[in-house]
Structure 1
Amino acid sequence: MPTSRRRLLTGTLAAAFLAGCGEEGAGTSAAPGKLRIGYQRFGGLSLSKARGDAPGAEWSLFESGPALTEALKAGAIDIGQVGEAPPIFAAAGKIDFKIIGTSEPVPQGEAVLVKSAKGFKSFADLKGKTVALNKGSNVNWLLVKLLEQSGLAIDDINVKYLKPAEGRPAFDNDQVDAWIIWDPYFALAEQPGVQILADATNLANNREYILAAPDAVTGKADLISEFLGRYRATTDWGIANADERAKILAPELKIDEPTTKRALARSAKPLAPVTADVGAELQTIADGFTKLGLIPVEVDMKARIDEQFNEAFL
């Protein structure tokens, strides 16, 4: 990668570390006995919130993982849920956190969308085209793997970094040729004339990760453990009761019920404990980002794994 291009990518991706704070809540202080939870609109925590799994908790909504990790840095939340790339970018940004839980792989939950009329048959056909994605989010790793699979370099495409709310109109209005996005934005964009060019199957696991502030891990361990047990039970209930889950979440997500159900069918997976293997998986992604110059420093993701809450996921 040319030095100038690498500096540009590093600078723009580093901006993800400075993404804004949450859309609601996200205060900078809370009572010692109150759990402060950061969530994204579609993450598994949305169902937990809707079902009242944490009475008295303070919930803060974030548009994306990078914004949530910035709230961790600011001391605004105790725990939160993100995809696989935000923890790596956060670690490179010197944000202190522990990884205390994960999910089973969700490869079908993120995809490359294109307009059918443009005639693209594979990701390789996007050489010289404009591809939009959210910087610092899980789709960053999918982009890396798609480039690798297609024999392309980052310079072979024009990467345009857009937040989900910006990406959808740009895609709809043909300002970009492809959009790499995750559910529920993925499901919402599945309109007539839109084609799924590829998803993350056999490329990226696209797990969800539960992050926690170090002081919460030590000072609110009982609260976290109790909540994680409820969260796991609610997730299992939702998978076993898909219709009821969609009815509860559709109004919470402000999405129609059929779209909610379609997105959840491919993106809602059981929670899982963190292990050394999970740490090694994240380390591989981090090393890939470092090699490409997408993060400015090497990071040790294995050291972020904290297994003390694993019993809650069993």
Structure 2
Amino acid sequence: MSRRGLSRPLIRAALAAPLGLVALSGCGSDDPGATLALTAALPDAPAADTVLRVGDPATQVALETSGLIAELDVKVEWANITGGPKTLEAFRADAIDIGSVADIPPLFAHWTGTDVRIVAARESADPANHPVYELGVAPGAKVRTAKDLKGKKIAYSPGQAQGALVLNVLREAGLSQDDVEFVEMQSVDDAFSVALAGKQVDVAPLGQTLAKTYLAKYERDGASTIDPGVRDDAWTLYAPTTVLEDADKAAAIKEYVVAWTQAQAWISEHPDEFAKAFYVDHEGLSPEDAAYVVQAIGAHRVLADWDEFIARHQQTVDTLVEAQDQEPLEAETLYDRRYEKVIADAVGAS
């Protein structure tokens, strides 16, 4: 995806906070915007004093490093928040307006009483060769393929993408939950890799960053990773419906979605610059590990047509409904397709 395909102009604006310096409090413009129905057309622009509170550090770094942030026509307060549990906690505390997560957190937000909508979606440009997760294997655990998971203790986070990944891996391997022992925990920070190193579990799904650092620390002790062998590349932006019902916030999100789309294209086209700015300077990886992670993850593709993505999301919903006894859900209802047109315009799609 080229920058030329993302030519929608964005007007310059100042940002309200530097990287990571946001208190988790309900701040923004003093007066909320007019109430906007979820079926109403998106306003052209927010009020001048509108502040959008964003939990999306990777995009912030990409916008700042690329210079695209100068074109963002909305004031932003950045929160250094990632992952489903922390993002949902921030939503419930009225600390952020929009977050960046995989496809499972919006489902569990809905199932646990927080009404949300997805406003953007992306996937890997080559999901077969660039999995997002690997299965970390504890030292001494004899797991070389997914079929070896039978009888093993597996770290399991039901409200995160890693939980759905585990269920999909078992299904593809012809195994059920009865064939393994789930050890339920949240995949926050390095909890899964610590559990692996301490042999509290035999197997745990690890994002590429954690997989690399896990092997660097424990491969000499016999730790390893394997390819999960299932697709795991769905990624979304989502927001509480209460935010989208605020006309000014909804308009601000429209501007942010365009900037996010540009940032994803820049990341894909400038992997070395992004590796240094985000994985080295922000995340603390070594240059070698950062290069490995960026190469492993590969390029992204922002979606201007959501039909296929939603259909895959419905398959995930159905898996979780069956495996976790969740309430049936039509995945389509979680998508605010007004923003699909915004993205289509941003990438020059018809």
TM-score, normalization by structure 2: 0.74
Measure the CA separation in 2 of the matches of 1:196 and 1:223.
41
1:51 Cα deviation after fit: 5.6
Cross-structure match for 2:239: 212
Letter paired with 2:295: A
Out of 91, 108, 122, which is 1:103 matched to? 122
Structure 2 match to 1:17: none
Task: Tell me which of 47, 51, 57 is aligned to 1:34.
Answer: 51
Residue type at the aligned position of 2:55 = G
What is the CA-CA distance between 1:241 and the residue it aligns to? 1.6
Q: Which residue of 2 aligns with 1:112?
A: 135
Give the 5 Å matches for 1:122-161: 122-161=145-184
CA distance in 1, matches of 2:194, 2:336: 40
Verify the 8 A CA contact 2:22 2:77 in the aligned structure 1.
no
Q: Among 267, 289, 295, which residue is 2:320 paired with?
A: 289
Task: Say if 1:219 and 1:97 are closer, same or farther in 2 by CA, change over 3 A.
Answer: farther
Q: Is the 8 A contact 1:23 1:63 kept in 2?
A: no
Q: 2:274 aligns with which of 245, 249, 257?
A: 245
Q: Which residue in the other structure is 2:9 paired with?
A: none
Q: Residue 70 of structure 1 aligns to a residue in which SS? A: helix
CA contact (8 A) 2:133 2:232 kept: no
Q: Select 1:47's aligned residue among 44, 58, 62.
A: 62
Aligned length: 288
Corresponding residue for residue 336 of structure 2: 306
Contact 1:132 1:176 in 2 (8 A): yes
CA distance in 1, matches of 2:24, 2:305: 26
Partner of 2:44: none
Asked if the contact 2:82/2:100 (under 8 Å) is kept, the reply is no
Greater displacement, 58-67 / 238-247: 58-67
Task: Give structure 1 stretches of 5+ with no counterpart.
Answer: 1-21
Matched, 1:221 2:250: yes
**Whole-Å Cα distance in 2 between the matches of residues 206 and 148 of structure 1?**
18
Amino acid at match of 1:174: K
Inter-partner Cα distance in structure 2 for 1:278 and 1:93: 23
Aligned-residue offset at 1:196? 2.4
8 A Cα contact 1:100 1:274, kept in partner: no
**Which of 145, 163, 172 is matched with 2:197 structurally?**
172
Q: Which has the higher helix share?
A: 1
User: When the two structures are superposed, what TM-score results if normalisation uses the length of structure 1?
Assistant: 0.81
CA distance in 2 between partners of 1:74 and 1:281 (Å): 31
- CA-based RMSD of the aligned residues comes to 2.6
SS in 2 for 1:104: strand
Specify every segment of 5 or more residues in structure 2 that has no aligned partner in the other structure, as ranges: 1-19, 33-49
The equivalent of 2:94 in structure 1 is: 75
Kept in 2, the 8 Å contact 1:82–1:210? The answer is yes
| Partner SS, residue 61 of structure 1 | coil
The residue type paired with residue 287 of structure 1 is D
Give the Å deviation of 1:35.
Answer: 0.6
Deviations 1:170-200 (A, max 9, x none): 212322211112232223223334332223x
CA deviations on 1:227-249 (whole Å, 9 max, x unpaired) are 22222222212221221111211
Over alpha carbons, which structure has the higher Rg? 2
Q: Deviations over 1:283-313 (max 9, x none)?
A: 2211111112253x12222111112223335
Over 3 Å counting, the alpha-carbon distance change for 1:45 and 1:308 in structure 2 is farther
